Amino acid sequence: MRHVMEYCLGTREKGLVSEPDQSWDNNPEFELLILGQPDSNYAKYLETRNSGSGTSKFLCGAPIIQQSMMQKVVAFICYRS
């Protein structure tokens, strides 16, 4: 956590700008635009040969959720008789 906080404080000029591309005009018929964008890579991490995956979600063009994770490794053993 300390490392993350130091990074955030040391890179204030680098970050996400949350500027929606729509604004609500008090109209009850206003439609919110929600988009999602997936991302993945195959065996990118050389030490473990694991794959990563992630997603970003946007509300009216502004980022609201970003997630990433390493995919779990499942080993299959095949026996021949």
Q: What is the mean pLDDT of the chain?
A: 78
Sheet bearing 62-70, strands edge to edge: 34-41, 52-59, 62-70
DSSP label of 45:
-
Q: How far from the centroid of its chain's Cα atoms is residue 58's Cα?
A: 10
Dump pLDDT digits (tens) for 40-60. Answer: 777 666 676 677 788 889 888
CA distance 54 to 61: 18
Domain boundaries, the chain: 2-16+31-70
How much is the pLDDT for 16?
62
